[in-house]
Structure formats: C-alpha cells, structure tokens
Structure 1
Amino acid sequence: MTDATAPDGAKIHADVVGAGEPLVLLAGQANSHHWWDPIRADFAGFRTIAVDTLVTGASTAPSGAEFSTRRFARDVVAVLDELGVARAHVYGTSMGGKIAQWLAVDHPGRVGALVLGCTTTGGPGAPVAGKDVVGPLAGPAPAAQRALAELMFTPAWLAAHPGPYSVLGDDGMSLPARRGHRRASADHDAREQVHSITAPTLVVHGSEDLFCPTENGEELAERIPGTAVHLIEGARHAYFEEFREEASPLVVRFLRDHPLN
C-alpha cells in the first residue's frame, strides 16, 4: 500500500499488489479499489496499483478540493511518483475510464498500454442513458441499489450470485463526497482531446450496457487513432466481472502484446 500527497494536500491511497510490469487499476464512480476485488487475481502477473480515487476508500480531501476527472488523473500521477513508477499500463472502467483518458492525454509519457472499459468521451453529443434507465437510481436506497445491480449484471447472473457486490459504491462515502463524484463524472468531456492519445489502446464494452450505452465504446474507438473496440456479447456495465473469463484474458493479452520496454 502507498499514500501520495496531491498539490492541494489531498491524501491519495493506492493498494499495491504483486510484481511485474505496473498496471494502474481505476474504478468507477464513488467506488474504492475494492471494485477490482473479484477479478484482481486475473492480473497476478503484473504489479497492480489499484487507486482509491479522491474521498473513496482511504483517500481524503481538504475542504474545497476540486472534483473532476482531469484532477483525478493528476492524483494518479502523484501515486506513480510516490511509488517511483515512471510508466505504467492503465486499465480504467466506467468513471475510471474517463480518468484514464486524461492520463493518456495529459501525461502520455506515463502511460504504456491503455484499456478503456464501459466508458465515454463525454461532452455534447455523447450517448447517455435515458431517464427510464437512471431514474430508479434516485429512489429509496434498497430499490436504487437493486436497480443499479440490474444495470451492472444480467438477471441470470444476479440470480446465481446473491451478493454482496463490490461495484455498487463505497459505503464509507459521505453524501457530499458522492455528489462530488457524480458531478465529476457528469462533467467529463475529453471528446475533442482523445484524438491525441498515442498509447496503444483497447476499448471494451458490453453489448447490452444501458448505463453507458454501447455506442460510447464504438465512438471512443473511432476517435482514438489505431483503436478497435471489443464488444462482449450479452454483457451489461460490469462486463469485467460477470464475463471475466472472456474479458480478463483479452486485457492481459493486450497488455502482454505491448510491453513497457
């Protein structure tokens, strides 16, 4: 484990496991590094650096801290600096994929291979979930959690796996912290910048993702030169967990095909 200090005094925590080429893991909105717990072992051949984004897990923020995906990317750089890691592979899913985009845009020398999962460029024109999809998430807690789980996983998988689930949010976050994450994710807009990404990039998306419509993955692949999108048939937002037998080997092969040295 390591703790880095951001320029504004925020403490950014990362859980570091294993040996091999460094691989930064970036979780979704309002989730800590535990987002990765169910599949972390799939990347055992790498030194995985799972970051607690600002105010998740053991990361803290001073009063008045900026909340934006671009700022979260700078926090990741602070973690890499603290660890003495000059360059790392990056795998970001959902809001973590938005953070990963800014890492690759603003800090190209720090990124080896880049994997963007179930994410979007954001900005005007980006496909968004309809009110019928996200509306239930604003309801009473038990119903909202169930609605979120149904966006993450297929009904058959939920029936066979009664939980608890690691992708439904960090229970330790305050309401203002959750609002900060929600605002950062909603305001993300790298639409006109992602074309400058030079890192070898793989885009992965579930074909049945209603939370972040599948067209977002296809558009990312169109906007980042030399990138192809891999659609996982039948998968919803948390493709990486339910369809790990397809997704994890795909990502590992891609990273191995693009070594850091």
Structure 2
Amino acid sequence: MTTEDHGTSFARTDDGIAVAYQSRGTGRPLVLLAGQANNHHWWDGVRGDFDKTHRTITLDYRGTGTSDKPCDGYSTPRFAQDVVAVLDSLGIERADVYGTSMGGRVAQWIAARHPGRVRRLVLGCTSPGGPHAVERDTSVRRSLAQADPEAVRQTLTDLMYSPGWLARHSGPHHTLGDPTMPPLARRGHLLASDQHNAWEALPSITAPTLILHGDHDRLTPADNVALLAGRIPDTRTHLFPGARHAYFEECRPEAGALVRDFLS
C-alpha cells in the first residue's frame, strides 16, 4: 500500500476489511489509538505535539471514518489485529503505541500478543476490563442510555471535560463520537469495549508502560490505574488533578510533555 503525508491510505486485514489510516511526519513511528466509536479526528487537538519527534500514525477503526463498516467482527483483540495490519502495510516492524479510552484497551492486546512490535506503551484513561475492572457508576450508564441524542452528547461532553475548560474551549470537540457510523457498527463498538478483558494477558506486556488518567474521570474511574499498574511489569503512572476523561486535551501541555519525555 502507498502512504501519503496528511492523507488517507488503506490496509487490508486478514479477514478482508479495508482499514483507513493516516501517516504524518518523520521520525520514530507512534501509533495513536482513539476511543470507542471515534475515528482518527479524536487526536486532532493534540497530534501536533508529536510532530517534531515522531511519525504519527492514526486509523479509523472498522465501522468508523472511511474504513469498511461490516456487520460483525468488533472486539478489542480484533481491533488490535487491524492495527498490526496497518503497521504491516506501512512496513513498520516496531512502534511506540499510545492508546486512550477504548484505544488503551486495544493497545493492551497489541503489546501483550505482539510484544516485539511495541517499543514503548502509553495507556490513557483506560481499564483492564472484565470483572476486576472498576466500572462507571449506574447514573453514568443511565445518562448515556438516554433516547435523546442531544442529551447523550451533552452527557459525553460533561464526562470528557471540566466546566472550567469548556468555558474556555467552545469546540467543536472531536471526542464525542463519529456521526457517520451506522447503528450496527456503533453497537459493535459498544460491545467491544464492554466485553474487553485483558486481565490475564497484562503480565505478558514487556514494553515499558506509562499510565495516564484524570483523577475526576467518571467514564473510566481512575481506580483502574492501580489495577493496570499491578498487572503490567514495568510501569509508571501519573494522575492529572481535576481532569476528566479527555485529560490529553484539557491538560495538553503537561500530558504532551510527559508522553514525549517517556517516549524519548
């Protein structure tokens, strides 16, 4: 496959799905993985922080963006295989991987099942999944299950960002979901995230790992940081005071610097 700076190219997975990806810049490759039901635009607000040090690679998960939108095949291990297909398409043997939210769950599988492909790993606002994880409370789940799409969007906005940050940043916000997704794909992403359970696989991760989280995150509670750190052998952690789920935007200067320093 060909690659284009700032453009979109396609990799073909082993089950025949075309996955869109975007490669930008030069330097050590850094894969940036977005949250559930989001495409590569999730990273628009902070991708430039890595331009001087890395070749950044994003993708549209199957079901999002310009990737194929099949009726099935949605799981975090399957998404991890899709990322490996993108790396193969680009001829990249080893990369740094930074996954946030569901992207952090996908990144866990890449690092556990393909340790030779991951040089350093960053996990943001994520959890190990399964019965050991600390889940969001029922009030959050109820708010996200409302029938009114605008009400759900407002709930997501409040879960992502603190009121003070929102007062200074009116948007548009690219972390609230891909509006082009068909309902089947959206349900597939929800199931993929909800059914994630990498607990037994986490000790297999050999890459040095940085775990980041906002300490006011109600979408994925920050108690999951200690759980991940207790299972992955070589970890360091950092909590951002007052930050919610999208700490990487709200605390951009500090978060970007921490990640760059760790990856260097």
By the TM > 0.5 criterion, same fold?
yes
Q: How far apart are residue 134 of structure 1 and its match?
A: 2.2
Q: Could you say which residue in structure 2 is the equivalent of 1:16?
A: 23
**One-letter identity of the residue aligned with 1:206:** G
Q: Could you say which residue in structure 1 is the equivalent of 2:5?
A: none
Counterpart-to-counterpart distance in 1, 2:70 and 2:154 = 33
Matches within 5 A, 1:1-261: 1-44=8-51, 45-63=53-71, 65-139=72-146, 140-256=148-264
**One-letter identity of the residue aligned with 1:120:** S
Counterpart-to-counterpart distance in 1, 2:15 and 2:206 = 29
Q: How far apart are residue 61 of structure 1 and its match?
A: 3.8
Counterpart-to-counterpart distance in 2, 1:248 and 1:223 = 25
**One-letter identity of the residue aligned with 2:103:** G
Q: How far apart are residue 62 of structure 1 and its match?
A: 3.9
**Offset from partner CA, 1:28-80 (integer Å, 9 cap, x none):** 000000000000100102100011111111111444x3110000000001000
**One-letter identity of the residue aligned with 1:72:** F
**One-letter identity of the residue aligned with 1:122:** G
* Alignment: residue pair count: 255
Q: Which moved more, 1:72-81 or 1:50-59?
A: 50-59
CA contact (8 A) 1:2 1:83 kept: no
**Offset from partner CA, 1:115-137 (integer Å, 9 cap, x none):** 00000000112100011122111
Counterpart-to-counterpart distance in 1, 2:229 and 2:66 = 34
What are structure 1's unaligned runs of at least 5 residues?
257-261
Q: How far apart are residue 217 of structure 1 and its match?
A: 1.4
**Offset from partner CA, 1:152-190 (integer Å, 9 cap, x none):** 000111122222110000011011110000000000000
Counterpart-to-counterpart distance in 2, 1:53 and 1:109 = 22
**Secondary structure of residue in 1 paired with 2:140:** helix
Instruction: Name the TM-score, length of structure 1 as normaliser.
Output: 0.96
Instruction: Name the TM-score, length of structure 2 as normaliser.
Output: 0.95
Counterpart-to-counterpart distance in 2, 1:48 and 1:162 = 26
Q: How far apart are residue 193 of structure 1 and its match?
A: 1.0
CA contact (8 A) 1:22 1:89 kept: yes
Q: Which moved more, 1:132-141 or 1:173-182?
A: 132-141
> Post-superposition, which runs of at least 4 consecutive aligned residues in structure 1 deviate over 3 A?
none
CA contact (8 A) 2:215 2:242 kept: yes
CA contact (8 A) 1:9 1:61 kept: no
What are structure 2's unaligned runs of at least 5 residues?
1-7
